[in-house]
Amino acid sequence: MSNNIQRDFKRVSSEQVQRASEFQAAIFADVNGRTGAMHGRIKALRPEMKLSGPAVTVEVRPGDNLMIHAAIAMAQPGDVLVIDGKGDQTSALMGTLMMSACQVRKLAGVVVDGAVRDSIELAEMAFPVFSVGTNPNGPTKSVAGRIGHPISCGGVTVHAGDLVVADADGVVVLERENVEALLPLAAKKVADEAARIEQIRSGNTAATWLLGALRTAGALKEGESL
């Protein structure tokens, strides 16, 4: 088989995916050092859409979806198609037909740095779709791209098998090798934020770090306070 298609890659485990699905994308972006979040141009078609799963990476020429068809045929249940469409919005790369195939094959969702179409029907399907936007133009199916290779999607490097978590805030990618270490940090972050919310509701609204940060930044002199 051509080197364009890499089939053999290790996926983040289904158990890790299940644990990760409990957390917001923002939590993972924080515990991952504020890295891994895709550009905000890639958004959920509907705010209630969310997904978690291993990435199947696809690189296409703008406006051509040949390799996406191949990736759908190869993907496993629970996979997330992550497509580098170069941010192109002059034509849609996917619509109802292809998304229906993804849904029947039990994929977890699609993230595409490009446009889709049939947006109302896709929303009614309740299949998670994250894209740059929509365009009624259809794609061509004639240019060989790549599957399973590292790609850039929304400004983030994605390797096949990495963990993808997405919700109304956007899309975050975690390197497969780091997921196990990040999961307990995510749980701690959630607990810490819940405790802080309780403090705020009881009237303690000022952040404990604020005065120090203001002094360090030169906005307050030593000994001054708000």
* Closest C-alpha among 74, 70, 165, 61 to residue 114: 61
**Beta-carbon neighbour count of residue 20 at 10 Å?**
22
Q: Letter for the amino acid at 174? A: L
pLDDT at 223: 87
Q: How far apart are CA 62 and CA 92, in angstroms?
A: 9
Phi, psi angles (nearest 5°) of residue 123: -65, -40
Per-residue pLDDT tens digits for 127-167: 999 999 999 999 999 999 999 999 999 999 999 999 999 99
Could you tell me the two tokens for 169?
């805030």
Task: List phi, psi (to 5°) of 192.
Answer: -65, -40
What is the Cα–Cα distance from 27 to 70, expressed in whole angstroms?
Answer: 33
Q: Assess whether pLDDT exceeds 90 at residue 2.
A: no
Given a cut of 90, whether residue 122 has pLDDT beyond it is: yes
Cβ-proximal residues to 53 (8 Å cutoff; 6+ apart), any chain: 17, 78, 79, 80, 107, 108, 109, 163, 164
Band of residue 101 on the pLDDT scale cut at 50, 70, 90: very high
Across the chain, how many H-helices and E-strands are there? 7, 10
pLDDT in tens, 201-215: 999 998 889 999 999
Amino acid letter, residue 112: V
pLDDT tens per residue, range 65-87: 999 999 999 999 999 999 999 99
Return the CATH class of domain 14-183. alpha beta
Averaged pLDDT of the chain: 96
Alpha helices in 48-178 (DSSP H): 66-74, 96-104, 119-125
